[in-house]
Structure 1
Amino acid sequence: MMNRLRVTPGPVLALTAVWLATRALMSWLLTHDSSPLLGGGSVPREVWRLYFHWYGVLSHGAFPAHDSTWQYPPGAGAVLLAPGLLPWLTYFQAFVVLTLAADALIAAALVRAGTRPGRSLFGATVWTCGLPLLLHVPLARYDVQVTALAVISLLTLGRSPRAGGVFSALGALVKVWPGLVLLGTPRGPVTRRAWGWSVAAGCAFLALLALSFDNPLAFLREQGGRGVQIESLGGTALNLARHAGWSGRARYQYGAIELVGPHVPAVATTSLALTAAALGLLLLWRVRARHWSPATPYDAALAAVLLFTVTSRVISPQYMIWLIGLAAVCLTSRHTSQRPVAVLILAASALTSVAFPMFYREVVAGSWTGCLLMLARNGLLAAAAVLSFVRLWRSARPPSGKPAPSTQPRPDSDRLPDRALSIS
């Protein structure tokens, strides 16, 4: 402990002040969003109408069955029931308070990681300053809570693969994608422990939920029926096709604005095929990788979630919360290869807010303004995904003609086993 570098309190106090100021502004926007540029009240409606409706169903011991808007794994039920722990507040107020608490937890975890020797506070800065780019949307969705589980999983992985695996499983039970954060664990004991504990914890929690609630797998039926959301890459292509005579239109279904009409099933199938191809690329990287740095698990998590996001049939605005969180984790390490990717993600987040809620009517109408906004946002995301994977691939190949990296512990290794730093 005597060898630890002393960290001046100035940067941490500055980040704390910025976090308090920006979250106060986000909260103000949430309660004063009647302006059309802020969504005309549509942003918080999901909490006090849809989430509260699900809360009532869940409170009676069952998951919503035959509800086309319920498309989430059973762990989401625990998050939606959590506001009931604050009975002196309304459901909406309690939900926002818990979301802010999860946000603060992420910021604190990133600050703690960034103040370790050899680490950086850039990660905490990206989260603190990047999340407000999405305006008030993060406070009215439960993706901050999911991101907290993924961030904690990655940050605890080096010191305790078991804990990292458990948090990843909890996140996956809430919204699936946190299961990807274990992709970059170093081969050997770390991977066996992290993946093993993740599977065991996931099965145990799933069994507990299945015993406690009826219809735990009801979400699968509705998830499989989803089409092409208007904000996805496929949706952008179809929206542009409307200007070339395509006869489709936008319609609200499955809890989102989707495009319906000729060729939509083909676009949806193409998206699924691209997702499968992305999985294949990630598995190929895993097999071919020969060099792990302390940042590799972080970089691999960001690359995986980016690839699955851009190839998805759905790219909702709240998905950017995940990417900002994972980019922030990457930037806690000085070894990361993802710095330019983080810049692209922040730019895409800013454009996301312009598209939703500010000009969402234009996006739905398929006007040139809406199409160009989505083309720019999705172009940035696609570029970020490609760049992220390329830089991950290159970082996993040791320079030719140079000896393998030292197996001595590095300052920001978070106590990963020494052999995890160099895989031959």
Structure 2
Amino acid sequence: MNYKYDVSIIIVNYNGKRYIDNLFLSLKEIDIKDIKVQIVFVDNNSSDDSVKYLKEKYSLANLKIVESKENLGFAGGNNLGVKECEGEYIVFLNNDTKVEKRWLSELFYKIKSDSSIGIVNSKIMFFYDFIKLNAKTLDKFLLKSKILVNDKEYLIDNKFCKNILYGENITCFGHSLLYIPLQDGIVDYHIKLYVKDYNEETDWIYINDLQYNINKRGIIELNITKEQIIQNKLSLIQNAGSGINDNFDGYDIGLGEEDSEEYQKEYEINNACGASIIMLKSDFEKVGGFDENFFMYYEDTDLSYRIKRLNKRLIFYPNSIVRHIHTGSSKEWSTFFIFHVVRNKVLFVYKNISKRKAIIINLCNLLNKNNTLRKASISAFKIILANLQNKKEKK
């Protein structure tokens, strides 16, 4: 079959106007040399003038904008985008990302190099760089979880901490680490930490060889110059491939880890993260595309398992690097997020692992006191029964 492009990049957007500049400025800078690239931008009925803004600011000859009259979710939006693709290979890229110059060429040449590979997964870094704060104490001290960063309130995120007890107050020990995102970019930083139950003589925070003591008001003030930020900033992994644990919960390999030698080599993975992957368009169509019952979450895991049934491997490839804001279209641990993750876990297990185990999990959700879990369970049962009815009618 003749293809107009080597690669089609599909970007699904829902009210993501605020991410367009970061993404498209980075896409304009990618090193593609002799690779023919198409960009397919699917808008899921946004209300923030995303499409108008994109058309006005980024008039690219290889850009195709597809407007859906309804929100089809990540699964349906990508399926719609693939129908408009004219590339031999397709790349799924989240809208809340920015890519490095060789992001696409590394993906493309890697998958072309080995026909046994079904999907190549980029190294996905958190969008911002971080500054690492080390705790020093002979026992422990408490930090308030809300701090000030350049006079703006910031809630310390548990996934960016190590060796702590997390709550309204954070218990820090002598080996505790706190990673603070540099959301203002590479500038001077003034950070205020509020401390309780401390010893002035033995407790402090340090950044490499820079020591910051607790003052008599129980405050640690860190004045960090731009030059010190440049010297000490580091990047954290968001995803270096994905996995499924014994409870069938999906997880990101390397989540919150510093980018080290471990994540600078390629390896085979169990399932891929749909934030940045490449595959043959023909393989995607062969397995039926994304299952639109999933809407969003677990849809990439389900697709991964179906690609593996083609006797193809999934590879994490660290030379392809993308930065990702993470949960850009939905808020992590919101009711929406919990509903879809809980429901789609059941659908994934039912389709790919064990129907019996899926039903047991879903019955437990149904009996749970949490209303969101019960609603997710009912929705999962409805989808399973509807699919069974459809199969029966086809026979």
Shorter-normalised TM range: under 0.3
Q: Rg larger in 1 or in 2?
A: 2
**More strand per residue: 1 or 2?**
2
Structure 1 length as normaliser, TM-score?
0.26
**More helix per residue: 1 or 2?**
1
